[in-house]
Amino acid sequence: MSDKQETTLADALPLEMARVRDEVLPAYLGIGPPGAIAASLMRASLDSAARAMARGDVVAMVRALEDLRGYEL
């Protein structure tokens, strides 16, 4: 048994959604109008991820995960 913990897509996507929603998005909203465009893009990415999960669309979920991972502080 390895020490490395494996994470499934079903585990990783909600975690990444929470990271963007709870950490990254508030930071962009906090800078005011300059962060508005990025915040709008993040919201669209979060909506897309939620739709992919609701449909159980694995391909869309993978794309959404990679998209969300692109948002940084």
pLDDT in tens, 7-59: 899 999 999 999 999 999 999 999 999 999 999 999 999 999 999 999 999 99
Q: Classify residue 63: in a domain, yes or no.
A: yes
Token pair 């939620």 in the structure block, residue: 50
Count how many domains the chain has.
Answer: 1
pTM equals: 0.89
Distance between CA atoms of residues 39 and 3, nearest Å: 37
Q: Residue 58 sits in which domain range?
A: 9-69
Q: Classify residue 17: in a domain, yes or no.
A: yes
| Closest to 52 measured CA to CA, from 16, 5, 6 | 16
